[in-house]
Chains A and B, each alone.
Chain A
Amino acid sequence: DGGITQSPKYLFRKEGQNVTLSCEQNLNHDAMYWYRQDPGQGLRLIYYSQIVNDFQKGDIAEGYSVSREKKESFPLTVTSAQKNPTAFYLCASSISSSKNTGELFFGEGSRLTVL
């Protein structure tokens, strides 16, 4: 079945450690996105990528990094510079970002807890 796979589903990290969240899609979508979800704040865009080897900062990119070496993969690294990393992270994709129709397909998320 086509879809978006995020891993791990749950992750615990000690302060000062970097952690990488995986996102893979087999929908052949061009665009991929990372959102952060916190209670009462909705979904906030961290980074997005329209094509391979290119990505742009979203609204809350500080303390995060991404790469897009393959069309199907868009990993997110939460660095030690992120002040409050405990959150639910969602990866999404869309067919094309040249004209966003709002039809994002989301993974099931990764819940990161910093101890």
Chain B
Amino acid sequence: QQQVKQSPQSLIVQKGGISIINCAYENTAFDYFPWYQQFPGKGPALLIAIRPDVSEKKEGRFTISFNKSAKQFSLHIMDSQPGDSATYFCAASNTDKLIFGTGTRLQVFP
């Protein structure tokens, strides 16, 4: 119930393409869904987050789509750039802990 399942494990995208990473959860008490971006050798940093009262949130080229009934949410990166190459983690929380997905390694090639 506390798990957050993330897919795919790795993703290769051409520059200018759309990167899509998916996450699913079971616990309906989760009420906050952030995405973190991590570059090699660094700690993760908050990228974008959403609450379940909205179905979509967009910040620049990054969009979260949220499907409450399906208990799924996804990150879309439009016009993917080589600088977006990183590991992305979805997460979910409802109390004082954050539960992370297993991560997606994104590689964007020129």
Contact = CB atoms under 8 A, between A and B. Distances in A.
B66 to A, nearest CB: 14
A102 B43 contact: no
A11 interface: no
Given A48-B97, A109-B41, A102 B32 contact: yes
A27 interface: no
Given A42-B101, A42-B102, A97-B96, A103 B6 contact: no
Contacts of B20: none
Interface in A1-60: 4, 31, 35, 40-45, 48, 50, 58
Interface residues of B, number: 25
A100 interface: yes
Nearest to A92: B43
B105 to A, nearest CB: 9
Interface of B: 6, 9, 32-34, 36, 41-46, 49, 89, 91, 93-98, 100-103
B93 A42 contact: no
Given A100-B98, A101-B32, A106 B93 contact: no
Nearest to A31: B96
Contacts of B45: 106
Nearest to B91: A102
Contact of A58 (B33, B89, B97, B102): B97
Contacts of B36: 104
